[in-house]
Amino acid sequence: MQSFRTEIENPVVERDILELERKIRLFHEGKIDEEKFRSLRLARGVYGQRQLGVQMIRIKLPYGKVTSEQLHRIANVSDEYSRGRLHITTRQDIQIHHVSLDRTPELWAELEKDDITLREACGNAVRNVTASETAGIDPNEPFDVTPYAHATFQFFLRNPICQDMGRKFKISFSSTDEDTALSYMHDLGFIAKTRVENGKEIKGFKVLLAGGLGSQPRHADVMYEFLEADKIIPTIEGVLRIFDRHGERAKRAKARLKFLVKDLGLEAFLALVEEEKKALAYHTYPIDTSDFEQEITFEEIEAPQVSIDNREEFELWKKTNVLPQKQEGLFAIGIKVHLGDFFTKEARELADLIKKYAANELRFTLRQNILIRHVREELLPFFYTELKRLGFTQIGYNSTLDITACPGTDTCNLGISSSTGIAAELERVLQIEYPQYVNNKDITIKISGCMNACGQHNIAHIGFQGMTVKSGSLVAPALQVLLGGGVVGNGQGRFADKLVKIPSKRGPEALRLLLNDFEENRQASEDFLVYYDRKEKTYFYDLLKHLSDTTNLTEDDFVDWGHDQKYVKAIGIGECAGVIIDLVATLLFESEEKIANAEETLQEKKWADSIYHSYTSFINTAKALLTSEQKKTNTQSVIVKNFDEHFVNNNLINLSGSFSELVYQIKENEPTEAFAKNYLEQAKEFYHQVDAYRVKEVSHA
């Protein structure tokens, strides 16, 4: 593998990319453990996929926003390093598949030329910050949440407090009480609110804490009914610090924030966050919104005149796919992207359209679609004809016909059955047999290929989860049917009930039974959730139970949707969590790196960052010694406790006091220059003492 020149102007970004290239080289040379290398590449958006020898690249696009220049750059990268296909995720990212590991540094360098990052798109970090795609244009919003989402993204990118957490951390911003960014299922969710104090309107947020999906979904707690906007950054930092210190690290299934808050209790968790305030660099953090309040401008106003051949079709498209903005005379156009997949040729033409006629902005949505913003009313016919030529005028944006599905067994290691295959078939059934649902916004259908819920199946009105069923010695692809999930609003949501497991090939029949029963038995103006609650779970179990019979399977049942070969269950190692098998030498090496980072940030006068790097050096150094003695290290707080118990109390490591007193100075002191310098020197001294002890022990072994 040969070195390359990044030609990146930002020295921090350049160093990051060169470090990835160096670590790839060390990995190939056998100098970095495979599990440890996985952690590093995940934090750089490089994710192993089901096919051997290639990677999935996740591009981190805060709140889904891209410009024409950025979309062109992404398309060029996909053509050069992959196969020209782009995939929109349910977190408003873009994924590119089938990329060679060795080429990922240069791919990243190319993206950064238009300010696009891979950093922390995967791994145990703050993932992409999502937001309502209509933020800034929604007629019902109290204010635009975009600058607050952007500030959150910027503040925590490469922030030392969230680089080595036990698990991923997800944040969302909803524009209105409709909660379209799904606050109740996030680690931290924010809903825009205002209140009046002394005749002045104050911007703030309702804050939801510790929600999550997966096999054990948890509804978020209300952390604050109203938190002033200038306190959201310190609040997020406080939560992250406590999660980093007390969160589970050994057991992947218990490592999310939702489990920590459940175990500690909300009150005790909030008390720990409150105690952490003294250590924060900022107690308030005003967010500059001026860049997001500038007048909307267009490169070209007039577009070529067009004639609409089918006026009825055009009007239906406007009804289902066009949204009025709060800015008078402007509209947003929703593009229904089948399963979130589109190609670079269309991407480039779309990029040219928004550059000339739509204020140079579009957003990828949480339902794997595209929203073009700032289109003048008189340009709607022109956009319709151009989008139709690109295949982008399929009606039913954000409707029942707009099914969400993860990649499943197409590329994901954890996929059990094909989510994209069944999604395509269900959309076909809906289009042909249930055209009346083309503009129905009340019923959502979501599909995941496994229990991890990347397709958000357990918050759908009708959800499907990939599974398997046995018939004798044979295994067939299956679907768990779930009903009754959905967004209630204002931070309230519902998780779907698991009903019955059926062979995948019976998924369309299950959908038919449900929709037919809904149409026949709903009461006047009754929506699906009210109808479901009235009928109750047992009724629907009885309705679908016969589909679960596996005594009468045919050969077709053993072939999954979208495949022509007999189904084989093949599940690889999942990388979403990036849980690592830590080696003692690697941990000590990391401690050296943390000390170097602390010295560097100290020189840059970033006192709080330097202090946190020193803190993580203390933790890694102690963990190395505990690991060598096979002692428990599942949380940072346990590491501190056990180090005292096994090494300090037994006089194996001599400190002036306890290790906990030494380490927890971080929460007892304000982040000043003096404390940062002293704490760093103590971290160095501790490292040298532990390293000397380790060398002595190894030599006597």
Residue 190 bridge partners (DSSP): 173, 207
Residue with tokens 């982008």: 392
Residue 88 bridge partners (DSSP): 94
- Burial, 312: exposed, middle or buried (Cβ in 10 Å; 0-12, 13-18, 19+)? exposed
d(CA 505, CA 516) in angstroms, rounded, equals: 19
Tens-place pLDDT, residues 100-125? 999 999 999 999 999 999 999 988 99
Q: Does 701 score more than 80 pLDDT?
A: no
Which domain range does residue 600 map to? 584-700
User: Do 238 and 382 fall into the same domain?
Assistant: no
User: Do 222 and 80 fall into the same domain?
Assistant: no
**What average pLDDT does this structure show over 378-405?**
95
Tens-place pLDDT, residues 241-270? 999 999 998 888 899 999 999 999 999 999
**Residue 579's pLDDT band (cuts 50, 70, 90):** very low
**Residue 699's pLDDT band (cuts 50, 70, 90):** low
Report yes or no on 683 lying in a domain. yes
Q: What is the CATH number of the domain that holds 467?
A: 3.30.413.10
Q: Does 396 score more than 90 pLDDT?
A: yes
Whole-angstrom CA distances from 413 to 49, 418, 420, 452 are: 6, 12, 15, 12
Residue 479 has a CB neighbour count (10 Å cut-off) of 28
Contact 547, 509 (CB under 8 A): yes
Report yes or no on 571 lying in a domain. no
**Residue 583's pLDDT band (cuts 50, 70, 90):** low
Q: Which one-letter amino acid corresponds to residue 450? A: C
**Residue 465's pLDDT band (cuts 50, 70, 90):** very high
User: Do 257 and 287 fall into the same domain?
Assistant: yes
User: Of 389-393, 509-513, 543-547, 622-626, where does mean pLDDT reach its minimum?
Assistant: 622-626
Tens-place pLDDT, residues 5-29? 667 778 888 888 988 898 888 888 8
Q: Which run of H or of E encompasses 96?
A: strand 94-99
**Residue 617's pLDDT band (cuts 50, 70, 90):** very high
pTM for this predicted structure: 0.92
Residue 564 has a CB neighbour count (10 Å cut-off) of 6
User: Do 102 and 147 fall into the same domain?
Assistant: no
Report yes or no on 572 lying in a domain. no
d(CA 602, CA 591) in angstroms, rounded, equals: 16
Query: Beta-strand (E) ranges in 152-187?
Result: 171-174
Q: What is the CATH number of the domain that holds 659?
A: 1.20.120.330
Q: Is 481 helix (H, G, I), strand (E, B) or coil?
A: strand
Q: End-to-end CA distance of the chain: give it in Å, rounded.
A: 38
User: Do 166 and 238 fall into the same domain?
Assistant: yes
pLDDT for 625: 92
Residue 140 bridge partners (DSSP): none
**Residue 584's pLDDT band (cuts 50, 70, 90):** confident
- Count of the separate structural domains present in the chain: 5
User: Do 142 and 286 fall into the same domain?
Assistant: yes
**Residue 362's pLDDT band (cuts 50, 70, 90):** very high
Contact 626, 632 (CB under 8 A): yes
Of 336, 320, 331, residue with least CA distance to 368: 336
Phi, psi of 539 (to 5 degrees): -60, -45
Residue 169 bridge partners (DSSP): 126
Contact 360, 68 (CB under 8 A): yes
User: In angstroms, how far is CA 524 from the centroid of its own chain?
Assistant: 39
Q: Does 2 score more than 80 pLDDT?
A: no
User: Do 428 and 528 fall into the same domain?
Assistant: yes
Q: Which one-letter amino acid corresponds to residue 46? A: V
Whole-angstrom CA distances from 168 to 70, 414, 650 are: 26, 17, 36
**What average pLDDT does this structure show over 447-474?**
90
pLDDT for 4: 57
pLDDT for 1: 45
Q: β-strand 486-489 against 474-483: which pairing, if any?
A: unpaired
**What average pLDDT does this structure show over 540-566?**
91
Q: Which one-letter amino acid corresponds to residue 95? A: Q
